[in-house]
Amino acid sequence: MTRSVKLILGAWVLAIIAGIAWVGIEISGGAPSIGGPFTLVDHNGKRVTDQDFRGKPTVIYFGFAYCPDVCPTSLLLMQTGVDQLGPQAAAKVNLLFISVDPERDTPAALKEYVAQFGPTMVGLTGTQDQVAAAAKAFRVYYQKVPSKGGAPYLVDHSSIFYLMDRDFRFVKHFTHQAKAEDIARALKPLL
């Protein structure tokens, strides 16, 4: 094979690779697929869907009321971030806590739990299937962890805040290590 034939073949291979890469970028472009329709029950026992939260930006956290550490800290952070906006702006934001432990987190249990963080936080639960569908829509990992020695079981879960716009479309996520100021700053342009 002559040198010029090798160069031509090499150019063709590079062109094919570049074309495949370009198509791959185009196919995978766009907003991430996070969020989606759900039907759950709020802490007052009322059936709700994602449609009920449209019209306001929404911050969502998945956890469970018996969580000993990360969940209460995260919910306090979420509430503090919204409170930094001031009372009028804070009233224009939905705060949702979606339980990944529907076995224990009844509407009554969630009502008592979310009240500790502020009057506007909404606790949501449902059947195992409803919770699993909501978690899947938001790509949330959770798994019941058996207890040892008669202690109550725990639920291992991802710890992420999801920021949704007024149309309930995903905007951004935060880890539980975020600062309240980060949440407030991300919410301001959505109000």
pLDDT at 2: 66
Pick the CATH number of 39-190 from 3.40.50.620, 3.40.30.10, 3.30.460.80, 3.40.50.12280: 3.40.30.10
From residue 20, alpha-carbon distances to 6, 14, 15, 16, 81 in Å are: 21, 10, 9, 6, 43
Report domain extents, the chain.
1-30, 39-190
| pTM, entire model | 0.83
pLDDT at 22: 42
Instruction: Flag the least confident range among 5-19, 61-75, 93-107, 145-159.
Output: 5-19
pLDDT in tens, 47-79: 999 999 999 999 999 999 999 999 999 999 999
Per-residue confidence band for 32, with pLDDT thresholds at 50, 70 and 90 = low
Q: What is the mean pLDDT of residues 128-141?
A: 98
pLDDT at 168: 97
The fraction of the chain above a pLDDT of 70, given in percent, is: 83
**54 burial level (CB within 10 Å; 0-12, 13-18, 19+):** middle
Q: Locate tokens 């090798």: which residue? A: 6
Q: What is the mean pLDDT of residues 131-143?
A: 97
